[in-house]
Amino acid sequence: MKKMALAFAIAAIVILSVGCGGGGGSSTQQQQTPTVTSVTVTCSPASIQTGQTSQCTAAVTGTGSYSSAVTWAATPANMGTVNSAGLYTASATAGTATVTATSAQDASKSGSATITVVASNANKILYSSYNATANTWNIWSRNPDGTGQQQITFLPGQNLQPSWAPDHKTLVFQSNKDGKGDVFRINIDGTGLTKLSGSWTVDAFLPSISPDGNSLLFSYLSGTTETGIATASSSDGSGFKKLETESCCNVPMPTAWSPDGKKIAFSSKKSGVNQIYTTNSDGTGSETRLTNGPDDDTNPVCWSAKGMFLVSTRNAAHVNAIYSMNVDGSGVTQLTFPSVSGQSDFDPACSPDGTQLVYTDQVVTQGNAVSLDLFIINSSDGSGKKQLTSGAFNRFSAWK
C-alpha cells in the first residue's frame, strides 16, 4: 500500500508540473493584441489657393502588430477631393476644408486637419490707374468680369507696368517714387514691398519674371549714352546682367519669355522703325529678327506654341492696333480695328488659358481729351469685345 501511495504521489507531481506551464513558459511570451490607439493628420501647405494642392500625411500609433493603413475623406465635398495618397486638390470654391484619415483596422480611430483655401489670383487682371487729384499712378487688380476691384499700391509718383510672378501671389512693377526708374516686388495684398533695383546705377522699366520665377527681365537706361535689356535675380535684384545694348535713347522693350524661359522676345528701333526680335535669355548666341515691315511692330507678348501677340501700325490708318502672329513672325493677323479718329489700341496681355486678350483702348475726343480704358477680346479673332474699366486712365495690364 505504501508503494502504491508513493506511485500516486509521484504521478500527481508530474501532472502538476505539466499543468503549471513546464512546456516552455508560454504564459510569459503571449503576443499583444494588435490595437490602433490614435491617428494624427498634418497637411502642407495648410493654406492654398483654389485649384492648388496640399499633401496630407497620417501618423498611426498603436500596440502589437497594428496596421498603419488609412482611408481618406474630405469635407465639404464641393471644396475639393483627396486621393488614396492623401493629396488634397482644391476646387474653385474658397473656404476651410477638413481632411480626415480613418484607420483601416479600427474605424473608430481617425484624425483630421484643416486646410484654408483662398480665392485664386490666377485669373485676376493687374493694371495701373491714374488718380488726377493726387497726380499718381498706382497698381490695381480686378476680375475679368469687372468685379473685385482692389488697390494694391498706395505710393507717390508713377507706379506702372505690373507683371505677375508665376505663383500669382506676388508681382513686380516699375516706379519713380524714389526719384529714378526702379523695380519693386510686392505681395498681392499690398504687403512686403521690396526694391529689387537698389544696387543698380541705371533706370529700369518694363519688368517681367521668367516662367520658373527665378529671373527678372527689364529694360534699362544708363544716363544719356546707353540703353538696353538686362536680367537679374527676381528675389533680390542681384546678378545684374546686360543682354542687349543699344545707343541712347530708344529703349528696347522686352515683353515676352518663351514658355521654357530660354528665349525672350523684344522690340527695338535699331533698324529705324520698331521691329520684333528674339534672343537667348542667357545672353549667348545671336538674335533673330521676326518682323521686317515698314511700320512699327512693338510690344510682343504671350509667347506660346501657337505664336504671340504684338502692337503694330501696319494698317491703312497707321495707328496702333493689336495683331497676332506665328512664332517665326509669319501669319500676322489684325485683331482690333480702331475706327474713331485718334483711337489706338496697345498694351495687350493674355489670359492664363490664352483664349482672351486684355488691352488698352485710347480715344482722343473733341478738345483733345484722352480716355484710356481696358477692353477684353477673344484672342483667336478679336471677337467678343467687352469693356472692363471706365472713368479714369487705366493701362499697362497683366493677366497671365
What is the per-residue pLDDT across 232-263, written as a single tens digit (0 to 9) for each? 999 999 999 999 888 877 777 877 999 999 99
pLDDT at 26: 46
Backbone φ and ψ for 256, nearest 5 degrees, come out as -145, 135
pLDDT of residue 253: 84
Q: In what order do the strands lie in the sheet with 125-131?
A: 150-151, 136-142, 125-131, 394-398
CB 338 within 8 A of CB 317: yes
Distance (Å, whole) CA 207 – CA 217: 6
Longest dimension (CA), the chain: 143
Cell of 393: 486712365
Which pLDDT score, from 0 to 100, does residue 200 have? 95
Mean pLDDT of the region 274-289: 93
Residue-level pLDDT at 366: 63
pLDDT averaged over the chain?
89
- Scored b (16 or more CB within 10 A) or e, 52-63 reads bbbebebebebe
Quick check: 6 pLDDT over 60? no
Q: pLDDT, tens digit, for every residue of 331-365?
A: 999 999 998 777 899 999 999 888 999 999 998 77
334: β partners: 323
| Residue 111 in this model has a pLDDT that exceeds 60 | yes
Q: Which domains does the chain carry?
A: 39-60+67-118 (2.60.40.1080), 125-398 (2.120.10.30)
Residue 311 grid coordinates: 502692337
Angle at 219 between CA 152 and CA 226, to 5 degrees: 140
pLDDT tens digits, 176-204? 999 999 999 999 999 999 999 999 999 99
Percent of the chain exceeding pLDDT 90 equals: 72
Instruction: Please determine, for residue 317, whether its predicted confidence score (pLDDT) is greater than 90.
Output: no
Query: Could you tell me which residues come within 8 angstroms of residue 107 by beta carbon, excluding any fewer than 6 positions away?
Result: none
The more confident residue out of 385 and 271 is 385
Please compute the mean of the pLDDT values over residues 31-59 and round it to a whole number. 92
Identify the band that residue 367 occupies on the pLDDT scale cut at 50, 70 and 90.
Answer: low
| Secondary structure in 3-state letters for the chain | CHHHHHHHHHHHHHHHHHHCCCCCCHHHCCCCCCEEEEEEEEEECCEEECCCEEEEEEEEEEECCCCCCEEEEEECHHHEEECCCCEEEECCCCEEEEEEEEECCCCCCEEEEEEEEECCCCCCEEEEEEECCCCEEEEEEECCCCCCCEECCCCCCEEEEEEECCCCCEEEEEECCCCCCEEEEEECCCCCCEECCCCCCCEEEEEEECCCCCEEEEEEEECCCEEEEEEEECCCCCCCEEEEEEECCCCCEEEEECCCCCEEEEEECCCCCCEEEEEECCCCCCCEECCCCCCCEEEEEEEECCEEEEEECCCCCCCCEEEEECCCCCCCEECCCCCCCCCEEEEEEECCCCCEEEEEEEEECHHHCEEEEEEEEECCCCCCCEECCCCCCEEEEECC
Q: How far apart are CA 21 and CA 89, in angstroms?
A: 58
- At 61-104, the pLDDT tens digits run 999 999 999 999 999 999 999 999 999 999 878 889 999 999 99
Give the pLDDT confidence of 136-185 residue by residue, as tens digits: 999 999 999 888 899 999 999 999 999 999 988 899 999 999 999 999 99
More confident residue, 75 or 2: 75
pTM over 0.85: no
pLDDT reading at 19 higher than 70? no
**pLDDT score at 165:** 94
20 pLDDT higher than 50: no
- 58 pLDDT band (50/70/90 cuts)? very high
How many whole angstroms from its chain centre is CA 76?
26
